[in-house]
Amino acid sequence: YEFHVSNWLGGDGDGLPIAPEMRRLPAARTVCVYGQDDDDALCPRLPAGSAQVVRMPGDHHFQGDYAGLARVILQRLRGLSSTAGAGPAK
């Protein structure tokens, strides 16, 4: 399975505009992970403070380091669970 972020952003005419929905999420509970070589990544273009942005090596495949990606996600989930009462859940 492979997806392209540009599909979410409407690049092929069938995608959904994800950026406006990302902006509606509570910043303290939002994590955006991207590969530093992914020129189409939305994460670095998000307004400052709107999410925890995590840059990893590689493109949208993260150099195949899926274990590293899982570690990043789990670390952030642990941090978010400690702030679970810090705002309304959406």
- Between residues 78 and 86, which one has the greater pLDDT? 78
| Residue pair 60/24 in contact by the 8 Å Cβ criterion | no
The pLDDT tens digits for 9-60 are 555 555 567 888 888 899 988 899 999 999 989 899 988 998 999 999 999 8
Q: Tell me, what's the pLDDT at 4?
A: 64
